[in-house]
Amino acid sequence: MYSGLSICRYLHTTVHSLRHISPNNMKGKGSSSTKWLTRQLNDPYVEKAKMFNYRCRSAFKLIEIDDSQSIFTPGDVVIDCGAAPGSWTQVAVKRVNADLALPNKPVGMVVAVDIQQMHSVPGAIMFGNCDLLSKDAQDKVQNALHGKQANVIISDMAPSATGIKEMDDENMLRLCYTAFRFAVLVSKVDAFLLVKMWQSGFTSKLQKDMERFYDKVKIMKPNSSRSDSAEIFLLAKHFKGLKSS
Ligand SMILES: C[S@@+](CC[C@H](N)C(=O)[O-])C[C@H]1O[C@@H](n2cnc3c(N)ncnc32)[C@H](O)[C@@H]1O
C-alpha cells in the first residue's frame, strides 16, 4: 500500500520524467561536468533511489536481476564485493532478511567489503578500507563467516578509470577474476555469483572459465544500467563445488 507521501513523490517523479532539466550556475565548469549533472538531473533512477532511500541508483540493477533470476532467499549468506556506498548491501540485507524485518523467515547474513571507507548499513557486517585483491582482506571476510559458506557472491567492483582503455579493461578483469576465485573458495554447492564487468574481448573467456565451475552463466544488462555504459553482468548459477583430491 502506498502512503500519501509516496504517491506525492511518485507523481513528482512522473512529472519530472516528462520534462528535460538543465543545470543552472554551470559558468566556468567544463562540458563534462555539465553533461554529468544534466544526466543526473534527468535520470529517473536517481530520483527513484532518493525516494526509496537507496544510497545510489545501482540498487535498481540488483533489484532487476534478483526479480527476474531469484538469486536471494531469506536466510542466505551473501558477500558483497566493492560495496561502497552501499546500495547493493541495502538490497541484499532486505532480501535475505539480515535485518530480521521478516519475523517468520530465516535470518540471513551480509558481509560487505570495499577498498573505500563505508557508512554502516543496518543488518550488514561492513569492512571498509579493505582491498579485496589482498589475501588479508579475503581472510578477514572469510573469518567473518564463522565457518559458514556463502550462498551468493555479488561483485560490483570497478577500478578507478585511467582513461587508457586497455589498462582499464585489464584492471577490471583482475577484479572480476578476484571475485570469481574468492567465490570458488567460499561458496556452498549451488551458490550464485554475480559479477560486473565492462564488455570487452575478455567477456567470453571469463564466461567460459565460469562455466567450468557453475552449471550456467547468463550475461545480463538490466534496464537500469545506462545504455551508453559498457557494463554488463555475468550471473553464474549453481556452483558445482570443488572436488576434494
Ligand atoms: C560501482 S561502485 C559499487 C557500488 C555499490 N554496488 C553500490 O550499489 O553502492 C564500485 C566499487 O568497487 C570498489 N573497489 C574497486 N576496487 C576494489 C578492491 N580492490 N577491493 C574492494 N573494493 C574495490 C570501489 O571502491 C567502488 O566503491
CA of 116 to the centre of ligand 1 (A): 8
Q: Which of 27, 196, 205, 240 is catalytic?
A: 196
Query: Is the pLDDT confidence value at 16 over 70?
Result: no
pLDDT tens by residue, 152-183 = 999 999 999 899 999 999 999 999 999 999 99
**Per-residue pLDDT reduced to its tens digit, 85-144:** 999 999 999 999 999 999 999 999 999 999 999 999 999 999 999 999 999 999 999 999
- Measured in angstroms, how far is the CA atom of residue 9 from the centroid of ligand 1? 30
Which residues lie closer than 8 Å to 53 by C-beta, 6 or more apart?
A: 90
- Co-location of 159 and 189 in the same domain: yes
Residue range of the domain that includes 174: 59-239
Contacts of 129-134 spanning 24+ positions with Cβ under 8 A = 132/81, 132/82, 132/157, 132/175, 132/178, 132/179, 132/182, 133/174, 133/175, 133/178
The binding-site residues of ligand 1, defined as CB within 6 angstroms of any ligand atom, are 55-56, 58-59, 82-88, 113-116, 131-133, 156-159, 175
Domain CATH number, residue 220: 3.40.50.150
Within-domain flag for 93: yes
Q: Say whether both 187 and 79 belong to one domain.
A: yes
Give 81 or 35, the one with higher predicted confidence: 81
Atom of ligand 1 nearest to the CA of 80: 6
How confident is residue 43, by pLDDT bands cut at 50, 70 and 90? confident
**Which atom of ligand 1 is least distant from the CA of 86?**
9
Question: What's the gap in Å between 101 CA and the centre of ligand 1?
Answer: 27
Could you tell me the pTM of the whole model?
A: 0.87
Same domain (yes/no): 229, 138: yes
Cis ω for the linkage preceding 85 (within 30 of 0): yes
Residue 196 annotated to the active site: yes
Query: Are 227 and 153 contained in the same domain?
Result: yes
| Contact between 60 and 50 (Cβ < 8 Å) | no
